[in-house]
Amino acid sequence: MSTKEVEKIFREYDIRGIFGQDLTQDVVFNIGRLLGERLKKLGERSVSIGMDARTHSPILFGWLKSGFENADIEVYDLGLIPTPVAYFATYNTINGVQCKNSVMITGSHNPPEYNGFKITLQNAPFYGEAIRELGQELITQLDSHPFIPSSKDSHKLPALDFYIAFLSEQFSHLAHFPYPIAVDCGNGVAGVAIKQVLENLHIKYEGLYFEPDGTFPNHHPDPSEEENLHDLKTTMAQQQIPIGIAFDGDADRLALLSTNYSYKGDELAILFAREMASRGIKPVVIGEVKCSSIMYDEIDKIGKAVMYKTGHSNLKVKLKELGAHLAAEMSGHIFFKERYFGYDDAIYSAFRALELFIKATPQEIESQIAALPKMFSTPEEKIATTEERKFALIAELKERLANPPSDFPKIVKVIDIDGLRVVFENGWGLLRASNTTPVLVSRFEARSQESAMLYKQKMLDLLAQCQ
């Protein structure tokens, strides 16, 4: 493999690539070995490894385990689990074992040929510059450290059983929930956890695609795409089920639906913040740069809203730094620190969502969203570019915005914490470089469709001058 081929799998938030092409035996072994060396420098001696339903996840487990054990790190096998269970294991003592480090083998919502690693060291995400440094070190050492198979047996750690027991106890007040619900696990791994919790709580549900299958035979496991919610909506309509829940492939992203509405991540943040306020909490909520201005305005009425960078690792770190109660992404990553541990757990978040329907009917929840100020929003759109150009384009655009054309809409301010969120008199426009793919991401919002489309046209015209 060339240096560029190896470098591309080390993303901002995780390591991800195509099995057998990018994630080869020697590459994965050395990822484990080098992470093991880092753990020893931190005074750590063990790591827990879980995996999703992809067909090659067990093979990657063996290669990664061999790498860690080559570095004299003890490996605990978490088995087939949702990603949040790997995080849960780092915060809890399980059968007398307290291990603050984990690797989740998952390709998340990517196509079946992809896989990767989400890494936690000492309860903190391993991401950004740390991942890139690991990649550079691997490149220099790959040829001198070929794969050495492990001869040790795995130590099984039943984190999933502890997680199911925890959720069943935490949400015992939801027992005999008053509405039936529909749940689409998309043949990912959510079903191995949520099925037992629902049954423990005697919640009536219609389950779709609970069986883990890494080929994803029914639909792509990405609930942020409307087309992937078709079967769930059909089931809800045919069986007159008022609440629907869907998960991505590794169960760290949630979609919530009611009879007439699909809730966006920032709308869920408003609902969760209001629920906290009803209990006397003045919520501090972190959103990302793609979130609607409505979310920030509404939460500021009852607490404090903070805008920050997109990305689950960024938000986990900021949540801990600020001591905030909640963080949310448009894509459905929801992070609860209030009553929980502060990471993105779609299964936990699903039960927090069900709590909303104890205090209000599904129609009343829909009415809360309908009563929000009206804004016109464009969907998130992607503009193809290259890895080499994407950040340079944003930097050049920032320079041009400092002295825009005479016919450019009046700029109130430019927020540059993650790309460029340009605030205009009647709305805003966003252009940011994706941290995981060679694209720019755009989104526009305004009080009218005409204003939103004007902001879009003018910003994209200015961007075109940068290319």
**What is the three-class DSSP state of 193?**
helix
Amino acid at 72: D
Pairing between strand 254-258 and 261-263? Answer: antiparallel
Check if the beta carbon of residue 114 is closer than 8 Å to that of residue 193: no
DSSP state of 97: B
- Measured in whole angstroms, the distance separating CA 85 from the mean position of its chain's CA atoms is 14
Q: CB neighbours of 2 closer than 8 A, spacing ≥ 6?
A: none
DSSP state for residue 218 in the 8-state scheme: S
Supply the residues annotated as catalytic.
Answer: 16, 108, 333
363-389 burial, b at 16+ Cβ within 10 Å, e below that, comes to eebbeebeeeeebebbeeeebebeeee
Secondary structure class of 196 (helix, strand, coil): helix
Measured CA to CA, the distance from residue 393 to residue 412 in angstroms comes to: 22
d(Cα 257, Cα 93) in Å, to the nearest integer?
Answer: 35
CA–CA distance from 297 to each of 56, 166, 322, 419 (Å)?
A: 45, 34, 19, 21
Q: Kind and range of the H or E element at 87?
A: helix 83-91
Q: Sign of dihedral through CA atoms 35, 125, 331, 336?
A: positive
> What are the beta bridge partners of residue 304?
284
